[in-house]
Amino acid sequence: STTYNVVLLPGDGIGPEVISEAQKVLELVSKKSADFDIKLTPYHFGGAGIDAAGKPLPDDTLAACKAADAILFGAVGGPKWGFGKVRPEQGLLSLRKELDLYANIRPALFPSESLLGHSPLKPEIAKGTEFIVVRELVKGLYFGDRKEADLDTPGSEGDAYDTMVYNKNDVQRITRLAAHLALQQNPPAKIHSIDKANVLATSRLWRRVVQETIDTEFKGLEVDHSLVDSVAMTMVSNPRKLNGIILTENMFGDILSDESSVIPGSLGLLPSASLSGVPDGKTRCNGLYEPIHGSAPDIAGQGIANPVGTILSAAMLLRYSLCQPKAAEAIEAAVRKVLDSQDVGGHGLRTADLGGKVSTSEIGAKIVEELEKLL
Ligand code: NAD
Ligand code: IPM
Ligand code: MN
């Protein structure tokens, strides 16, 4: 049988807590499968990389990530390392760049309908929301020329800048990927391209290239264009209007995807895949999988973080990088089962972010128990 090598990057804060639950899920999938094994190997990354090797992306970590079939990542960052010269977050940015993970796919779906009552939005507004954020991940403000302000030299003006750069090819390739995802739905999903074309040159390029790519290569697909500020409002007032694919640049996608987590009710629920090619479910795609949340220093070490986003990221890993859709669907079904079940207090088997009292490892164990029945 085939052995798949998966690198684990637990990182910092709640990263190791949520990764260890997803690890149990992948170990069970490996044990139960007749035709493949998954070998999981942890490496230092982020603040843990700085502590162990003096840099957030140590050389052996990068080499292992390059050689791996897929990467499962928790989160990086925290007050211990701050925002100084060497930052945990730089490791994540370098890794995305090194592996050319240009497409970040962040589905905002209800992992379970039973969460409707927990959404801070009225159920009739949240119900039926189903969109996927496709975020460009290796260009834009994150990677352009940058200057730090000098505030310590007397007389210095203290100017700082970040530069946002996109070219035609950057926009074309992410548009093609979004179009392929749209075509995988039946009927094909609508593409909502989001920009700030009333101000930014990069956005005017974005809008034109998105439209031309769809017109010339994907005739018949529907695409519309909106400004990011008004979309931020629509996302929480009428989110179903955005159903389909949200296609946007790096920073807008970062902000809008955190906002999207308000709809199902917690940042801890949502998974993501960062890919370097089009996921068609048949050809194995290089990828890094992570929950969309960060290291949550405010709750780290308490064993109360929600591991669902990370476990659903492991499902995306099986689907896109290992082409094992059945195992992916089984994980998603097990998560749904656990979120749907009610305990005596009526809070369900849920972590504190969803109003429950269940710990990270208890919810992980329950998901493993349900998965055992489905595999
Ligand atoms: P955060 O996402 O870590 O936390 C925001 C809020 O959501 C916090 O109140 C936190 O407790 C809660 N939360 C997040 N994940 C949760 C989970 N799984 N279960 C329950 N509650 C959860 O964002 P932040 O506090 O702004 O950032 C903290 C650090 O994380 C920063 O250093 C930031 O750079 C880093 N960060 C890293 C990543 C990543 O590694 N991909 C993503 C975002 C932020
Ligand atoms: C995310 C995070 C990262 C980002 C940070 C930690 C660099 O917020 O994965 O969403 O902004 O992309
Ligand atoms: Mn983010």
Choice among 55, 127, 190, 196 that is catalytic: 196
Residue 230 structural domain: 120-142+160-263
Domain end call among 228, 263, 298: 263
Confidence of residue 283 (pLDDT cuts 50, 70, 90): confident
High-pLDDT (> 90) share of the chain, % = 90
Q: Single out the residue in 263, 295, 325 at which a domain terminates.
A: 263
How many domains is the chain partitioned into structurally? Answer: 2
What is the per-residue pLDDT for 279?
87
Does residue 348 register a pLDDT over 80?
no
pLDDT at 343: 59
Pocket of ligand 1 (CB under 6 A): 14, 18, 75-78, 89, 92, 267-268, 290, 293-299, 305-306, 309, 353
Residues 241 and 310 in one domain: no
Residue by residue, what is the 3-state secondary structure of the chain? CEEEEEEEEEECCCHHHHHHHHHHHHHHHHHHCCCEEEEEEECCCCHHHHHHHCCCCCHHHHHHHHHCCEEEEEECCCCCCCCCCCCHHHHHHHHHHHCCCCEEEEEEECCCHHHHHHCCCCHHHHCCCEEEEEEECCCHHHCCCEECCCCCCCCCCCCCEECCCCCHHHHHHHHHHHHHHHHCCCCCCCEEEEECCCCCHHHHHHHHHHHHHHHHHCCCCCEEEEEHHHHHHHHHHCHHHHCEEEEECHHHHHHHHHHHCCCCCCHHHCEEEEECCCCCCCCCCCEEEEECCCCCCCCCCCCCCCCHHHHHHHHHHHHHCCCCHHHHHHHHHHHHHHHHCCCCCCCCCCCHHHCCCCCHHHHHHHHHHHHHHHC
Kindly state whether residues 124 and 259 are assigned to the same domain.
yes
Active site residue 127: no
229 Cα–ligand 3 center, Å: 17
Q: What is the pLDDT of residues 133-157, one digit of tens each?
A: 999 999 999 999 999 999 999 999 9
Which of 18, 295, 306 should be mutated for ligand 1, with most atoms under 8 A from CB? Answer: 295
Cα–ligand 2 centroid distance for 156 (angstroms): 31
Residue 101 pLDDT? 98
End residue of a domain, out of 209, 232, 263: 263
* Same domain flag for 248 and 131: yes
pLDDT of residue 345: 58
pTM across the whole model: 0.97
> Among the listed ranges 91-105, 223-237, 270-284, which one has the minimum average pLDDT value?
270-284
| Ligand at shortest distance from the CA of 76 | 1
Q: Which mutation among 254, 257, 259, 290 tests ligand 2's pocket best, with the greatest number of atoms within 8 A of CB?
A: 254
- Asked if the structure places residue 151 within a domain, the reply is no
287 plus 241 within the same structural domain = no
ipTM: 0.98
Assess whether the C-beta atom of 92 lies below 6 angstroms from ligand 2: yes
Give domain status of residue 368, yes or no.
Answer: yes
Please tell me the residue having the least CA distance from ligand 2 atom 7: 89
Whether 344 has a pLDDT exceeding 50, the answer reads no
53 and 182 share one domain: no
The Å distance, Cα 292 to ligand 3 centre, comes to: 6
Q: Which of 71, 106, 259, 293 to mutate to test the pocket of ligand 1 (most atoms within 8 A of CB)?
A: 293
Does residue 77 sit within a domain?
yes
In a domain, 113, yes or no: no
